[in-house]
Chain A
């Protein structure tokens, strides 16, 4: 009989299924443990890929719990592309529905941030504008200008102190205080950097990214918080090399 790849694949991802009939050892007996080598290769290699991509999730859950999570995720959401470096985009949503970690409400956003760091790491290199060009623009022209943002830029808006949680676990930062944050990801050279923004700062960035004029983005941010810190938010973008062009009509 002929073994079809649909059955092979189903048995690889479901340990409860027997190995497909027609796979044999040198004596012609059912493949048994020999098939398990492939099962193991698939689950272990993809679990390792997730462990590399989500080191903070792994640290927060511990080795054992992370393995349990990864094994279930791998079987439910195998990669849809051979670019394993970007595997795990579906992990945040999976975490939202994963009963054992429902009490850790910030986990999905931490996973979003780690995936954003991965995407930023592999994103295209586009030179940033000279910061002096931005500083030299008179306010009336600045307010109606639009900014082109770097392909390396990402942000994750959260109800949790998401940037602080990430720094606490990844870089030894101070203990997070409970507040909503937007984690800004920029890549000044090759290594992505995480900066904490207020929700208003996050609104400013997302409005710029949507193509709004700087003035309109400021209005959107100020509507979120009257004390929106424009200078600090622009500084984070500029120092991260996140502005690649200034467009004036």
Chain B
């Protein structure tokens, strides 16, 4: 098992997914935002403005590096070239946290730029655990693994997602990133109870939470189909589920994700303020 952190940890407060158009506003007045998360793949260039901005931000804020391209659930071996680039970023930035997804995105050298689903089987467990061991070894730190948004299920699945995540964490020592919107989206799409999911989730392993917006559609049978779009405000039922979860396990670093149709800074800051109002009373 590896060290939990090398450079402190994220505060039990509100953070936002960093977007370059907000750089000046954040540096001037971050409001309730106490930490920032970046997508690792956007900072793998050799230089230029992205790296320069990140250096400035890292002087003022704890940074969480969130990978979206490792394909930890991939059937093929991990892309070692990509893992080296990730290691380079983590080495110079020394972020407060690193997280990735329970998903796959690369197969036969094609990177599909989406977080694709996995069957919850013994074979997937072995593969994902081996890949997480490899990542934690390469980075020299513990990582957090995020629960996915899912739109369909695999007939071959043998265990629940919560049991799967619990076993992955037990085998690898990794922590978990609990995305409350993903819980709500998946539970709606799978017609299960999001509260039952939270009740069954190993909350003691949660090192970070995500909140984001989703779109509402219907499948061809008229059943609700929620899409994890990160393009709107967090909806009230997700806020309620978040508040209930925080009341139960205590405060955790909590991130607002808004990746599409990114709003002006005040709108994003207001979402962070809403998380802050839920976190503050339990952080006393």
- Interaction A to B: yes
Residues of A32-89 at the interface with B, using a CB-CB cut-off of 8 Å, are 32-35, 37-38, 41-42, 45-46, 49, 78-85
A22 touches B156 (CB 8 A): yes
Contact of A23 among B48, B121, B153, B225 (CB under 8 A): B153
Any chain B CB within 8 A of the CB of A5? yes
By beta carbon, the residue of chain B nearest A48 is B260
Q: How far is the CB of A159 from chain B (nearest CB, A)?
A: 30
For residue A42, which residues in chain B have a CB less than 8 angstroms away from its CB?
112-114
Known: A121-B49, A124-B47. A37 touches B111 (CB 8 A): no
Known: A22-B155, A84-B41, A124-B47. A9 touches B112 (CB 8 A): yes
Contact of B119 among A2, A81, A84, A187 (CB under 8 A): A2
Known: A79-B110, A122-B45. 10 other contacts (CB 8 A): A24-B154, A25-B153, A25-B223, A35-B152, A41-B113, A81-B79, A81-B111, A83-B69, A121-B49, A122-B50
Task: A29 to B221: give the CA distance in the assembly, Å.
Answer: 10
Contact of A3 among B107, B156, B221 (CB under 8 A): B156
A80 touches B110 (CB 8 A): yes
For residue B109, which residues in chain A have a CB less than 8 angstroms away from its CB?
80
Residues of B within 8 A of A (CB): 41-42, 44-52, 68-71, 74-76, 79, 82, 85, 104-114, 116-117, 119, 121, 151-156, 189-192, 219-221, 223, 225, 227
Any chain B CB within 8 A of the CB of A97? no
Q: How far is the CB of B124 from chain A (nearest CB, A)?
A: 10
Task: A134 to B212: give the CA distance in the assembly, Å.
Answer: 54
Contact of A83 among B44, B112, B155 (CB under 8 A): B44
Task: A81 to B113: give the CA distance in the assembly, Å.
Answer: 9
B114 touches A26 (CB 8 A): no
Any chain B CB within 8 A of the CB of A132? no
Task: A123 to B51: give the CA distance in the assembly, Å.
Answer: 10
Contact of B155 among A24, A46, A49, A79 (CB under 8 A): A24
Mask of A218-238 contacts with B, CB within 8 angstroms, 1/0: 000000000000000000000
For residue A98, which residues in chain B have a CB less than 8 angstroms away from its CB?
none
Residues of A1-38 at the interface with B, using a CB-CB cut-off of 8 Å, are 1-6, 8-9, 12-13, 22-29, 31-35, 37-38
SS of A interface (majority): loop
A82 touches B69 (CB 8 A): yes
Any chain B CB within 8 A of the CB of A247? no
Any chain B CB within 8 A of the CB of A168? no
Task: A83 to B81: give the CA distance in the assembly, Å.
Answer: 11
B110 touches A1 (CB 8 A): no
A32 touches B47 (CB 8 A): no
A123 touches B105 (CB 8 A): no
Q: How far is the CB of B97 from chain A (nearest CB, A)?
A: 19
What are 7 A-to-B residue pairs whose CB atoms are below 8 Å?
A: A6-B108, A9-B108, A24-B155, A80-B111, A82-B68, A83-B45, A124-B47
A9 touches B107 (CB 8 A): yes
Contact of A45 among B52, B69, B113 (CB under 8 A): B113
B49 touches A123 (CB 8 A): no
Any chain B CB within 8 A of the CB of A125? yes
Known: A83-B41, A122-B48. A33 touches B112 (CB 8 A): no
Among B49, B85, B109, chain A packs the most CB atoms within 10 A around the CB of B49
Task: A92 to B220: give the CA distance in the assembly, Å.
Answer: 39
Known: A82-B41, A124-B47, A151-B46. A6 touches B107 (CB 8 A): yes
By beta carbon, the residue of chain B nearest A19 is B152
By beta carbon, the residue of chain B nearest A81 is B111
For residue A46, which residues in chain B have a CB less than 8 angstroms away from its CB?
113
Q: How far is the CB of A233 from chain B (nearest CB, A)?
A: 24
Task: A49 to B109: give the CA distance in the assembly, Å.
Answer: 18
Task: A34 to B150: give the CA distance in the assembly, Å.
Answer: 9
Known: A22-B154, A25-B221. A123 touches B113 (CB 8 A): no
A5 touches B111 (CB 8 A): no
B82 touches A9 (CB 8 A): no
For residue A8, which residues in chain B have a CB less than 8 angstroms away from its CB?
107, 116
For residue A5, which residues in chain B have a CB less than 8 angstroms away from its CB?
74-76, 104, 107, 116
B119 touches A3 (CB 8 A): yes
For residue B223, which residues in chain A have a CB less than 8 angstroms away from its CB?
25-26
For residue A151, which residues in chain B have a CB less than 8 angstroms away from its CB?
46-47
For residue B121, which residues in chain A have a CB less than 8 angstroms away from its CB?
2
Contact of B191 among A26, A34, A37, A123 (CB under 8 A): A26
Task: A80 to B105: give the CA distance in the assembly, Å.
Answer: 11
For residue A37, which residues in chain B have a CB less than 8 angstroms away from its CB?
151, 225, 227
